[in-house]
Amino acid sequence: MSAVGRALAERPPASSPARPLRSPRPGGGEAPARRHSRLVRAWGGRLTGALRIGLWLALLLTILAPCASFLLLAVSPRVFSQGSQWFTLSYLRNVLSGGTAVAMVNSLWVSTAAAAFGLLVGFAIAWLAHRTTLPGARFVVGGMWLVLLVPSWLPALGWQRLVEPDAVMDRMGLHWHIVTDAILGPFGVVLLLGLRAVPFTFLAVSAALSGLGQEFEDAARVHGAGRLGALRLVAPILAPAMLSALAINFAETMSDFGVASTLAYSAHFPLATYQLYIAVNNFPPTFPAAAAMGWLLVLSVAVPLTVQARALRGRSYAVLSGRSRPAVRRQLGRKERVAAVAFVLGYYAAALGVPALGALSGSLLQDYGASLRPTFANYAQVFTDSGLFAPLVRSMTFALITATVTVAGGLIAARLLTRRPTRATRLLDLLLLAAVALPSVVFGAGYIFAYNLPALSRVGLDLYQTTTLLIVAYVASSLPTNARVLVGAVSQVQASLADAARAHGAGPLRAWVRGVLPVLSRPMVMAWLLTFCGILLELPLSQLLYAPGAPPASVGIETNLGNYHFGVGMAQAVVAVLVALGAVGIVLGAYRIFAPAGWRRPGGPTHG
């Protein structure tokens, strides 16, 4: 019998009643399966609403309220009993004169120079990696991410320990005062911040180059243009990426605290972020003056972002079409390959190699004396002295908690951002973008002020100078970035993935795990690692909010260096970096080994 015949034979007679959707009981009671499904949907809706309300409350209490109240203090100190004026501009006028004005001017021109340096170098490396046969181009992207994962204060300390008096170069007999004066001065500050800005340009330009076809360069060459002429034609097409990179470079360098508190401070070259830290950390703290500096920092970050948006408004840069052809990599000659490799390696040597050499060699030297004989006594002291090793363990714990919480919260925020646009989602998007652009030192100062108010103590919220407040600040500062990182992956997930699992009898949680988690697993792992490494060696929030007697790793390192225990401090820094790299290797290795094949390759099998 054929398959059709078997199907017809097995079909129930036309007269036989179909299975009722409702119970045959008198009164028409609802079937248990449908009632269960209705209850699940109702509880799912309530849970979604509760999560949405919880997210908004968390953003209000941890981001909006502390930062807004701190910035309001600059113009209305009477509101928080910090002065007699209900409205005043005197604090804003004061920061435009004296030492704070000098620091602000220094920050502005240094950030401009570093942003331009990062744009030029990052563009050149991106072009070499994506448009030429650069040897080892596949490793360039990983190196850029490594530069981003290392906090800015570590390379600054590495360079400092290499060139400062009685440091590595002096003990080697290399008394190069020109190099020392250059690094321990404005040039060194611009150099380090510029090296830090290169990865932002590289990533932005790389994304644009991937969509730029070969036809534009061919058109220029057909009309007689040389290589430079073709480049001049292509460069304007990349204007959105270049303007974005320039704005991000300026914002990142303007709000940087790591270089300002290490190299710039040692060079007696004041920057705005460190001046704000001093205003808050003094006794008694001058919160209105610090808030006025916070306004200047926030405005200085907002200006380039606004200029970028206005410059691109009303212009079209669409280059992808059905006739776009993949770009052909230009073959480099022998001398060109040598020059290109030397240029790229020179960047990584300055950004990672020289600082690593300074940190490693500094960690192997005793604190004082002219001896160059290496010793592992500093490392032995780090692992045997609980006061030195405890900050590392503490920071690992903080980073573990923060990364886990913010990835979960980032998923919820990303899900809300990818739903149908409403006034609430647009407001959420604006708040998260503003929080990403907010300098960390302003964020920390807002926490110090808001959570030290007597009103909070009266209602039982005694969080000031506690580890809980530090972790809350870590989470609040990391959540916006995590949401922006995950929103792209979440936007690609269709509801049909979870519906397919629900159709096979899975509950809401199991349907999400089986249908959605495989697609989001890799972005979640990368977001977790990015947060873990960032919090492990985070400096500005740690410096401002750590609980007395419980310093995290960055504060412990800074304390040892400030007390002239250079060898022990650098040994702590080296161990912390090795911990971060080890965490990256372990997590990525575990994901590769234990995650199902379908998780690593969406669209493949979900088991095995």
- Return the pLDDT at 98: 83
Quote the DSSP letter at residue 79: G
Please compute Rg for the chain using Cα positions: 29
Q: Which range is most confident: 126-135, 205-214, 511-520?
A: 126-135
- Cis ω before 284 (30° cut-off from 0): yes
Q: Between residues 391 and 300, which one has the greater pLDDT?
A: 391
| pLDDT score at 218 | 56
Kindly report, as residue ranges, where domains of CATH 1.10.3720.10 are found in the chain: 102-313+338-365, 375-608
**In the prediction, which pLDDT does 546 show?**
92
Residue with the bigger pLDDT between 442 and 194: it is: 194
How far apart CA 196 and CA 144 sit, in angstroms, is 10
Confidence grade of residue 23 (pLDDT, cut at 50, 70, 90): very low
Amino acid at 176: W
Query: 30: which strand partners?
Result: 22
pTM of the entire predicted model: 0.77
Nearest-angstrom CA–CA distance, 382 and 361: 16
What local confidence, expressed as pLDDT, does residue 330 receive?
Answer: 72
Question: What pLDDT band is residue 345 in, cutting at 50, 70 and 90?
Answer: very high
150 or 229, greater pLDDT: 150
Concatenated DSSP letters of 63-78: IIHHHHHHHHTTT-GG
Q: What's the pLDDT tens digit per position in 398-441?
A: 999 999 999 988 888 888 777 777 777 777 777 776 777 678 88
Residue with tokens 């009103």: 455
Asked if pLDDT for residue 26 goes beyond 80, the answer is no
Residue 512, token pair as written in the block: 């999400």
pLDDT of residue 15: 43
- 560 and 350 Cβ atoms separated by less than 8 Å: no
Q: Where are the alpha helices (DSSP H) in 453-539?
A: 454-458, 467-491, 495-503, 508-515, 517-536
In the chain, the N- to C-terminal Cα span, in Å, equals: 38
DSSP state of 421: -
**Residue 288 contacts residue 439 (beta carbons within 8 Å):** no
Confidence of residue 324 (pLDDT cuts 50, 70, 90): very low
Does domain 375-608 match CATH 1.10.3720.10? yes
At residue 187, the pLDDT reads 94
Average of per-residue pLDDT across 279-298: 84
- The mean pLDDT value for 557-568 works out to 84
Q: Compute the half-sphere exposure of residue 274: CA atoms within 13 Å on the CB side of its CA.
A: 22
Distance CA 439, CA 441 (A): 5
- Residue 583: name the closest of 532, 517, 526 by CA: 532
- Give the per-residue pLDDT at 467: 92
pLDDT of 348:
94
What local confidence, expressed as pLDDT, does residue 409 receive? 87
What pLDDT sits at residue 413? 83
Each residue of 177-232: pLDDT tens digit?
888 888 989 999 999 999 999 998 888 888 677 655 554 555 555 555 555 555 66
* Dihedrals phi, psi of 488, to nearest 5 degrees: -65, -45
Q: Which residues contact 482 (CB under 8 A, 6 or more apart)?
A: 406, 407, 409, 410, 413, 527, 530, 531
Please state the rounded mean pLDDT for residues 83-99.
84
Contact at 8 Å (CB) between 140 and 129?
yes
Strands (E), 340-485: none
pLDDT of residue 318: 41
Question: Which one is predicted more confidently, 4 or 79?
Answer: 79
The one-character DSSP state at 20 is P
Residue 48's Cβ-side half-sphere holds a number of Cα atoms within 13 Å equal to 11
528/531 Cα distance (integer angstroms): 5
Query: What is the pLDDT of the chain when averaged over all its residues?
Result: 78
Lowest mean pLDDT, pick from 171-180, 243-252, 291-300, 318-327: 318-327
Residue 493 has pLDDT above 70, yes or no: no
Q: How many helices (H) and strands (E) does the chain have?
A: 32, 0
What is the percentage of the chain residues whose pLDDT exceeds 70?
Answer: 74
- Contact criterion met (CB below 8 Å) for 470 and 545: yes
Residue 487 in contact with residue 417, Cβ under 8 Å? yes
Residue 398: per-residue pLDDT: 95
In this prediction, residue 188 carries a pLDDT of: 93
Q: What is the pLDDT of residue 170?
A: 77
20 exposed, middle or buried (CB, 10 Å; 0-12, 13-18, 19+)?
Answer: exposed
Helix, strand or coil for residue 162? helix
Task: State percent of the chain over pLDDT 90.
Answer: 17
Q: What is the pLDDT of residue 566?
A: 81
Question: Of 438, 420, 110, which is closest to residue 305 (Cα–Cα)?
Answer: 438
Distance separating alpha carbons of residues 240 and 572, to the nearest angstrom:
41
Over residues 328-333, the mean pLDDT reads 75
Lowest mean pLDDT among 75-79, 374-378, 549-553: 374-378
Architecture of the structural domain at 102-313+338-365? Orthogonal Bundle (1.10)
